[in-house]
Amino acid sequence: MSDTRKNRNGRTDRTRRSRATAARNQRTRTGNQPPTRPDTPPRGTSRTGRGRPPGGKRHRRALRRETPVVVGLLLDEPDFTAMTRYRSFRFDDYGTYLRQVDGLLRSLHAQGTHVAVTLFDPEAYAAYCRATRRPPDTPASRAHYVAEATTTRACLPYARQPLAALRAELAHETERRATLDRATDILMAAGPCPDCGQALADCAFDRASHTLLRLADAIGDGTHHVVCSLPTDDGPPLLAAVHLDATPDGDLDMDDADALAVCTVLAAATVTGRPGGLVARTLHPDGHDTVRGWELCGGEPHPLTEAAVFDAYCTDPSTGDPVPPEPGVRYAAGLPLPPPLPGDLTDPRP
C-alpha cells in the first residue's frame, strides 16, 4: 500500500506542499506582495502601457477657468415671446427667464469663468437656421447661433452688474453697432474724393473728426451730450450720441466708441449732402440743462435760432402737434463754430 494519502477533496499532500512552496517563492521575489493578475495593469498605468498624466483633473479645472462662455440674452418681452413657439425652449414667463439668466451669469462668474453676453435676435436666429439648414427647435442650434453671433453682433463682458443695467448697455451697444454699420456702408459707396482723388470716405471722416472738435470748442467747458442725426432713404434715421466732458484746462474726455459712431454719421452726412442735425445738451451743476441745435448742410453745422430749437424739441415728430417743453430745460440758439482746419474737405460732392 502506498504511503501517499488522499485528503477529502481528492488532493494529495504532495500537491499541497508543492503549491505552498511555489507561493512562498513568489512572495519572496515580489517583496512579500501578493501576485497580481496577468490581465490587470499596474496601478497608475493604462492597458496600453502609457501612464496617466499627473494632475489631470487640476489641469482640466485650470483650462475651464480660461475657457470663455457666451450667453445669448433676449432683450425684451416680444423677443422672448417669439422664442416660446419652440417646444425645446423651456420658459413661458419672461420674469422667470431673466431671473434664471441672472443666476446663471452670477454662478459662472463666481467660478472664475470669463462670461460675455450677446444679443439673441429671434428673427436673425430663424434666418441663420434656414441658411445653415439646422433644425431651429433644438438647444444645439441655439448654441451654434450664439457662438457665431459674437463675430458680428455686440458682445459685452459680464462683471456682476445688475441685469437691468446689462440689458440697457447691450441695447445701446446693439444700436450703436447697427448705426455704425449702416453709416459705413454709405461711406464705402461714396467713391473718390473730388479734391484729392483718394477715397472720399477717408476725407469725409477726417473732416467729421475736426467738426466734432470744433463743436466741443464752441460749447465750451462743462458736461455735454451731443446727438447727431441723419435721415436715410431706407429705414429709420441714423442716430449717434457721445458724452463730452471738457475742462477749463482744455482737456476733453469722451468715449472712443461713441465718438467713432458720431463721426461716422457726420461723415455720411458729408458724402450724401443730406440735411441732418446736431444737438448739444449742456448739463449744469444746478440740475438745469441748456439745449442748442445746428443744421447739417453737406456735413457742416449751421446754428439754429432759439425759436427753431424750441420748435424742434416741442413738436411731436409723428403728428406735428405741439408738446410742452421739458421742465428745467432752456432752449438756446446754436453757437458759431470755429473755422474748419486747413485741408478740410470744402465740397464733399463730386
Q: Are 206 and 266 a contacting pair, CB within 8 Å?
A: no
pTM score, two decimals? 0.74
State how far the alpha carbon of 325 is from the alpha carbons of 281, 312, 314, in Å. 14, 10, 6
Question: Per-residue pLDDT for 342 more than 70?
Answer: no
The predicted structure's pLDDT at residue 345: 56
pLDDT tens-digit profile of 250-297?
A: 889 999 999 999 999 999 999 998 999 999 999 998 889 999 999 999
pLDDT tens-digit profile of 204-263?
A: 999 999 999 999 999 999 999 999 999 988 888 999 999 999 988 888 999 999 999 999
CA 336 to chain centroid: 38
What is the three-class DSSP state of 330?
strand
Question: Per-residue pLDDT for 2 more than 50?
Answer: no
The predicted structure's pLDDT at residue 1: 42
The predicted structure's pLDDT at residue 208: 94
Average pLDDT over the chain, rounded to whole?
Answer: 84
Tell me the average pLDDT across 318-336.
87
Query: What does the block give as the cell for 39?
Result: 490581465
- Strands 155-157 and 276-283 turn out to be unpaired
The predicted structure's pLDDT at residue 63: 72
- Rounded distance, CA 340 to CA 317, Å? 32
The predicted structure's pLDDT at residue 8: 47
